[in-house]
Amino acid sequence: MRTEIPREQWESFCGQFSGQHHRWIVTITELSPELAGQGDVLEAPDAQVIARDVSLQEIRLQAGSGPLVLRIEAGEGKLRITHQVASPERLELVQTDEGAHRGLRIDSTAGTTVLRFRSAVPPESVDGFLA
């Protein structure tokens, strides 16, 4: 199940999503526009891996005088990465049929960036587990 996030809600959604999923284990991949149209992008075998099994730190929207950018920060210490999606056009929350969050799909003219959680778990079921 996919839910498109309206553009005017991106900033607040990213803040809330980052807070709910801080330090959850993610894999970040990119797909070309051709591959993004084929099946479940969260499970695409031909995706280019940007980062595998790293902890999510933050997703934030950067708006200024230049083009819009979504920044994904993940990993810790020397393994920390920042992945930028320039000129995003569409942001979708991907969930299981039961409502557990599986990840995010971010479409841009350059392709699709996918943030996939290692485990699809409803955020409220892990409240209090991480300090």
- Using the predicted structure, report yes or no on whether residue 55 has a pLDDT greater than 80: yes
- Using the predicted structure, report yes or no on whether residue 128 has a pLDDT greater than 50: no
Domain ranges of the chain: 2-122
14, with CB counted inside 10 A (0-12, 13-18, 19+), is buried
Please state the φ and ψ torsions of residue 122, each to the nearest 5 degrees.
-60, 130
Query: pLDDT class for 37, splitting at 50, 70, 90?
Result: low
How far is 13 from 90, CA to CA, in rounded Å? 13
Most distant CA atoms of the chain, gap in Å: 41
Distances in whole angstroms, Cα of residue 105 to Cα of each of 38, 76, 94: 14, 23, 7
How far is 117 from 34, CA to CA, in rounded Å? 23
The reported pLDDT for the residue numbered 38 is 57
Each as own residue / partner, the long-range contacts of residues 104-108 (CB below 8 Å, 24 or more positions apart, any chain) are: 104/17, 104/59, 105/2, 105/41, 105/42, 106/70, 107/36
The pTM assigned to this predicted structure is: 0.83
The mean pLDDT of the chain is 85
Greatest mean pLDDT among 26-35, 47-56, 119-128 lies in: 47-56
- Provide the token pair at 52: 């595998």
Q: What CATH class does 2-122 carry?
A: mainly beta
Condensed to tens digits (0 to 9), the pLDDT of residues 73-93 reads 999 999 899 999 999 999 999
- Using the predicted structure, report yes or no on whether residue 23 has a pLDDT greater than 70: yes
Bridge partners of 32, per DSSP, are: none
Helix, strand counts (H, E) of the chain: 2, 8
Condensed to tens digits (0 to 9), the pLDDT of residues 93-115 reads 999 888 889 999 999 988 899 99
